[in-house]
Amino acid sequence: MGSKFWPKGGSPGILHHFTETLVGFEFAPGTGRQPHSILFLGGLGDGLGTTSYVADFIPALQPTEWSLFTLNLTSAHQAWGFGHLDRDTDEIARCIRHIHDYKTAKFGAGGKLVVMGHSTGSQCVLHYLSRPNPHTSTCPFDRGLEHTKRPVIDGGIMQAPVSDREAFQLIMRDGFLGRTPAELREAYDQMVAMAREAVRKDESRDTMLPISLTTQFGYPSNTPVSCRRFLSLVSPASPQSPAEDDLFSSDLGEEQLARTFGMISQQGLLKHRLMVLMSGADQSVPEWVNKEDLLKRWKKAADHNGATRVWHQESGLIPGASHALSNDDQAEAREFLVKKVLAYLADLLENSG
């Protein structure tokens, strides 16, 4: 059964092989000239076109100079439990290079390129823009990975950046799937102890956590999760020493934000500004998180307290939006999101060389 948000006849377009084994998909462009590109990145468990609100962008972009791409990473669909952000952003860089070459051959120039991430896709956007270029990790658990130099991009958009660690805290406080907080805390402590011991014994390969434990927290029964990725997502040493995936927790200090948001201007990989859109009614964000204050702290870190201009002025909350804007009552929130993104693209063209 197809998604109610997508046209019943399917979505035509062009399949692009940006490596021998990885593909991207360009939704059918409009009849006019479209030299500019948006590359959309989904969250954990997403793949080609699986974030439903992408369907709203296809008709909205057809009259513009922008075409929309989505891609399948190695960590797409059920493979995210063995993925990591360095590999994701290496693959994103290769896709960006392919899009640039393709648009140059088609239009005589590569045009502008914006990367937009949803949920964990937002982690990829921030990781892409803030980490050393190329990455410096040796990744002993990911043999054969060769880091690539990441191209400069024109714009970046993050939608629904959330903390996996705080989502776990919320589940353990309230109970989940018929299990009590005490039962979930026991399962969590068991997973953390198992994961730490497995990583301590052998950092050169990934070990899978028991499915019987991971499913208690809503992870699908067909999705293996490695000890290493689990520790990165729940980051038990935070906030003092956050793991790679712990980028958006509300209790991270200013020094840590300076190493993420604060590094965007120094790395020089973003020509325009970063727009951050949080879902106003995101069910993954605990009620103790003040979203407005968190956005202000991120803006302060990105702009170095006003010394630089990285943060886009249209950043903010999407009123009433759920995490992925996929509920039946989300039509207004989806329309709001599309208008925000179209305004950002227009501003980018108006204010870039």
pLDDT value for 93: 98
Over residues 277-329, the pLDDT tens digits come to 999 999 999 999 999 999 999 999 999 999 999 999 999 999 999 999 998 99
Confidence of residue 28 (pLDDT cuts 50, 70, 90): confident
**How many CB atoms neighbour CB 87 within 10 A?**
19
Predicted confidence (pLDDT) per residue in 109-147, tens digit: 889 999 999 999 999 999 999 999 999 999 999 988 999
pTM recorded for the entire structure: 0.96
At 143-191, the pLDDT tens digits run: 889 999 999 999 999 999 999 999 999 999 999 999 999 999 999 999 9
CA 139 to chain centre: 21
Residue 350: CB partners within 8 Å, gap ≥ 6? none
Predicted confidence at residue 353, as pLDDT, reads: 62
Architecture (CATH level 2) of domain 13-162+249-350 = 3-Layer(aba) Sandwich (3.40)
Rounded mean pLDDT of the chain? 95
* pLDDT for 5 beyond 60: yes
Give pLDDT, residue 3.
64
Higher pLDDT, 308 or 31: 308
Calpha distance 270→156 (Å, rounded)? 7
Kind plus residue range of the DSSP H or E element containing 120: helix 120-130
The full DSSP string for 213-281 is HHGGGT--TT---BHHHHHHHH-TTTTTS--TT--S-TT--HHHHHHTGGGHHHHT-BSS-EEEEEETT
Under 8 Å between Cβ of 256 and 137:
no
pLDDT bracket for residue 1 (50, 70, 90): very low
The answer, yes or no, to whether residue 216 has pLDDT greater than 60, is yes
The predicted structure's pLDDT at residue 119: 97
Whole-number pLDDT of residue 352: 78
Q: What is the pLDDT of residue 107?
A: 94
Q: What is the rounded average pLDDT of the residues 14-34?
A: 91
Q: Out of 7-11, 273-277, 328-332, which region has the weakest mean confidence (pLDDT)?
A: 7-11
Beta strand pairing status for 155-159 and 316-318?
A: unpaired
- CATH 3.40.50.1820-classified regions of the chain: 13-162+249-350
For residues 251-270, average pLDDT: 98
